[in-house]
Amino acid sequence: MQQRRCVRVILADTSRIHCDLITQEIKRRNCGIQVVASAADTTSLLESVATLSPDVVVCHVDLRDSHEAGLRATRQLRMRQPGVRVILLLRSDRREQIVDAFRHGAHGVLGSDESLVELCRSIEAVMRGEIWASSKELGYLLEALSDSVPSNGQTKSSVHLTKREEEIAGLVAAGMTNREVAGRLSLSEHTVRNYLFRIFEKLGISSRVELVLRTVEQHQFKAAKESLAS
């Protein structure tokens, strides 16, 4: 039987000691997760990601260089390394911070005081292409989406998508990676990325999370709704 590959993770936190403690505990638990590096500021984080190509980055919302630097680092990672999944550790459950985390490109959010068990579960979930958030946090996202809809009910998401674009949007909203979509539709990953760029531009969005939220709001894709509810 082929052994499952370890999930490669980079930790980013203002406290090196905190990163070391998490690393030691993950090693002790032997849960299929390998911490390959840690960072305390945006520059070292981006350099480590570019060099080591991790699967997941677990990043605190505040880094040593500035308040909420983790948010800005997440946006840069989305642009530079779109295949890397990011989990943001938040210091509070304020609605604005949670919404901002996903708008900046996070794949999941977790309270910075949550247990290591929850951290491991969140890493495993985003690796499966899922969004990691509590029902309360998802509620904030849906509220924010509702607030952004004009009073006349017209939204950018009502713009016409081609049949192929709708198909790709549905698969992505259901949690598939670009590679999985390419395999399902017998396309190259490059072609899938090009379709996604056009879809994002038409809908006026900038991330897969926003695509999922718009899909849920319109009830277009049952799979995406079930994924968010789980």
pLDDT in tens, 20-72: 888 998 888 888 899 999 999 999 999 999 999 999 999 999 999 999 999 99
120 and 28 Cβ atoms separated by less than 8 Å? no
Say which residues have a Cβ less than 8 Å from residue 207's Cβ, sequence separation at least 6.
78, 102, 103, 105, 200
Three-state DSSP class for residue 7: strand
Calpha distance 55→48 (Å, rounded): 12
Q: d(Cα 94, Cα 136) in Å, to the nearest integer?
A: 11
Residue located via tokens 């006026």: 204
Question: What pLDDT score was predicted for residue 215?
Answer: 63
* pLDDT grade for 150, boundaries at 50, 70 and 90: very low
Domains and CATH numbers, the chain: 7-142 (3.40.50.2300), 149-229 (1.10.10.10)
Tally of CB atoms within 10 A around 46: 18
Q: Residue 197 carries which side chain, given as an amino acid letter?
A: F
187-206 pLDDT, tens digit per residue, is 998 999 899 888 888 888 77
Residues 6+ apart with CB under 8 A from 79: none
Give me the chain's average pLDDT, please.
81
**Model confidence over 63-99: pLDDT tens digits?**
999 999 999 999 899 888 888 999 999 987 788 888 8
Residue 217 is predicted with a pLDDT of 54
CA 33 from chain centre, in angstroms, equals: 18
For residues 121 and 115, give the distance between their C-alpha atoms in angstroms, rounded to a whole number: 10
Length of the chain counted residue by residue: 230
Distance CA 56, CA 37 (A): 11
In this prediction, residue 139 carries a pLDDT of 77
Sign of the CA dihedral with 152 first, then 155, 160, and 164 last? negative
With CA atoms as reference, report the closest residue to 62 among 116, 115, 100, 20: 100
